[in-house]
Structure 1
Amino acid sequence: MKGILLVNLGSPDSPEPKDVKKYLGEFLMDERVIDIPLAARALLVKGIILKTRPKASAAAYKKIWWEEGSPLIVLSERLQSKIQKQVEVPVALAMRYGSMTIKKGLQELVDKGVDEVLLFPLYPQFAMATTETILVLAEAIRKEHFPNLKIDSVPAFYNKPDYIEVLSNSVKRHLEGKAYEHLLFSYHGVPERHIRKSDVTKSHCKIDGSCCVTPSKAHEFCYRHQCFEVTRLVAEKLELEEGTYSTSFQSRLGFDPWLQPYTDRTIERLGKQGIKNMSIVTPAFVSDCLETLEEIAMEGQEIFHEMGGKDFITIPCLNDDDEFVDLLSKWVTEWTKTPAKIS
């Protein structure tokens, strides 16, 4: 029997500092998030970050927390529920970090008689700190707890034409009738070294002005290329004029170089240039979360207004958008019929 496991990032159990600290500890100690030796990582995370950051992060979570709970969890559950209504196989939900573990999600499916799982990381682009960490952990759990379980996985779908159409339709719908001068595509940032580590050719990724547009096998696992490609494809689909849109990266941590340009500095620059009305979309996220609801919609808007900007339009993630649900349900159904093909 086949089943589906949707996997998203995760969330603290509550916006209280103790729960946020527990969540951040698990998240930041992941070797694919902070990819430095264990001793150094433990010193940085437990000795420095967890002594100060949980309180500030808890305050940020409290700003966006819903009555039903964490927005990311609630929205993921809505997505799961809608997909379940459209497909004939069991659909479970898990998080990479937090109490809704991948082990619990797999156990839920196994308890229903599932022996073949489609693991569905809810990330359009591949990255070490998102898709890869999910796949590696799921395989480790399978080997230890479910050795007879077969697991397939959904590859990055950033350039699938039907995904680009759904994303483009969402952007168009939310901007309809609204005046804006610039559309910013903001993606979650990662350290530049992650891009080089994910380069299967070990030579292509130079993070310059050419490698992301030069065809290469490296692009299959290059987060930077995949982000710029989403921007290009959506801009092409919506017939956006050159100069009216751009790409940036948010949520950097530490002092090492991260992917640029940075979102906060880009918003600041646009405001200084005299842009009065701008919109922003966050295509690295499927579900609205702290990074979109607080960092972008609140902090980003504040920066823009401080620079003289007027209207700051934030476009929601796809969340449980009906077109998106239809698309994911179609892919699931395709897999149940021909496992090797998700088009």
Structure 2
Amino acid sequence: MKGVLLVNLGSPDSPTAKDVKPYLDEFLMDERVIDVPNILRNILVRGIILQTRPKKSAKAYAKIWWDEGSPLIVISERFTEKVRQHTNMPVALGMRYGSITIKKALQELKDKGVDEVLLVPLYPHYAMSSYETVVVKAMEEQQKHFPQINLTTLPAFYSNADYIKVLSESIADGLKDFEYDHILFSYHGIPERHIRKSDPTKFHCKIDGSCCKINSVAHHTCYRHQCYDTTELVKAYLDLPEDKVSSSFQSRLAGDPWLKPYTDYEFERLAKEGKKRLAVITPAFVSDCLETLEEIAMEGKEQFEEAGGERYKHIPCLNDSDAWVTLMAKWVNEWKSKGTLPV
């Protein structure tokens, strides 16, 4: 019997330092998030970061927390239920970090008689700190606890034509009645070394854009290339003016070069260049979360306006929109009936 496992990032159980600390510990101790030797990761995370970050992060989570709970969790649960209603297969939800574990989700599917699972990392782009860590964790749980279950993984869908259509039309809807000077595609940031580590050729990536023009197997796992590709595809679909669209990368840790340009720097640069009305979208996420709701929708607005901007609009993620639900249901149903996956 076939079933579906949807996996998103995860969230603390509450916006308190007590619950944020173990969540951050699990997240930051992931060797695919902070990819340094374990002893150094322990010192950095448990000896330094977790001494102050939980209280600061708890305040940020409190700013965006809903009555029903974490926005990411609530949205993911709504999405899962809607997808479930569009298919006659069992559909379970797991999180890479936190209490809604992948193991629990696989157990839920096993209890319903499922022995073939379509794993769906809810990330459009491939990155070792998001898509890859979900796949690796799911395989570890499957091999350790559910050897009778076969796993098939949905590929990264950043350039899939149907996905680009759904994303573009969602953006167009968000731009209604907003006369923008510029649109910023803000993607989650990762260290530059992650790009090189994910390069199967070990020599392709230059992180300067030149290699993006070369047809290479490296693009299958190159997060930077995939992000820029998404921007270009949406720009073409919506016929957006070349000079009114750009991409940037948000969130970073000090000490290492991360993908550039940095989103917060772009807020200041665009405002000082006279861009008074800015629209921002976050296509690295399919569900609104701390990074989109607090870092972009709230802090980003303040940064842009402090630099001289006048109007700012954050366009929501796809979340549990009907078009996104319908597309995901189409993908999983085609896998069930034909064994095919989107390309």
TM-score (norm 2): 0.99
Q: Please state whether the residue corresponding to 2:288 is helix, strand or coil.
A: coil
Conservation of the 8 A alpha-carbon contact between 2:3 and 2:109: yes
- Distance in 2 between residues matched to 1:186 and 1:220, nearest whole Å: 21
Q: Please state whether the residue corresponding to 2:15 is helix, strand or coil.
A: coil
1:40 aligns with 2:40: yes
1:258 aligns with 2:258: yes
Give 1:312's aligned residue: 312
Deviates more, 1:67-76 or 1:172-181: 172-181
Give 2:115's aligned residue: 115
Conservation of the 8 A alpha-carbon contact between 1:72 and 1:287: yes
Give 1:273's aligned residue: 273
Give 1:216's aligned residue: 216
**Aligned-residue offset at 1:334:** 0.4
Q: Please state whether the residue corresponding to 1:187 is helix, strand or coil.
A: strand
Residue by residue over 1:36-64, the C-alpha shift from the partner in whole angstroms, topping out at 9 and shown as x without a partner, is 00000000000000001110000000000
Q: Please state whether the residue corresponding to 2:14 is helix, strand or coil.
A: coil
**Aligned-residue offset at 1:209:** 2.7
1:71 aligns with 2:71: yes
- Distance in 2 between residues matched to 1:104 and 1:236, nearest whole Å: 41
Residue by residue over 1:8-67, the C-alpha shift from the partner in whole angstroms, topping out at 9 and shown as x without a partner, is 000000000010011000000000000000000000000000001110000000000000
Conservation of the 8 A alpha-carbon contact between 1:21 and 1:50: yes
Conservation of the 8 A alpha-carbon contact between 1:213 and 1:225: no
Q: Which runs of 4+ in 1 moved over 3 A?
A: none
Residue by residue over 1:178-203, the C-alpha shift from the partner in whole angstroms, topping out at 9 and shown as x without a partner, is 11100000000000000000001111
For 1:289-300, list aligned pairs within 5 A.
289-300=289-300
Alignment gaps of 5+ in structure 1: none
Give 2:154's aligned residue: 154
Over the residues paired in the alignment, what is the CA RMSD in angstroms? 0.7
- Distance in 1 between residues matched to 2:33 and 2:66, nearest whole Å: 27
Residue by residue over 1:85-139, the C-alpha shift from the partner in whole angstroms, topping out at 9 and shown as x without a partner, is 0001000000000000000000000000000000000000000001110111111
Give 2:205's aligned residue: 205
Counterpart of 2:175 in structure 1: which amino acid? L
Give 2:12's aligned residue: 12
Give 1:180's aligned residue: 180
Give 1:169's aligned residue: 169
- Distance in 2 between residues matched to 1:339 and 1:109, nearest whole Å: 19
**Aligned-residue offset at 1:265:** 0.2
Conservation of the 8 A alpha-carbon contact between 1:171 and 1:315: yes
- Distance in 2 between residues matched to 1:87 and 1:341, nearest whole Å: 16
- Distance in 2 between residues matched to 1:239 and 1:20, nearest whole Å: 42
**Aligned-residue offset at 1:342:** 2.8
Counterpart of 1:134 in structure 2: which amino acid? V
- Distance in 2 between residues matched to 1:341 and 1:165, nearest whole Å: 17
**Aligned-residue offset at 1:341:** 3.1
Give 2:130's aligned residue: 130
Deviates more, 1:32-41 or 1:234-243: 234-243
Residue by residue over 1:214-272, the C-alpha shift from the partner in whole angstroms, topping out at 9 and shown as x without a partner, is 21110000000000000000001110111101000001112100000000000110111
Give 1:283's aligned residue: 283
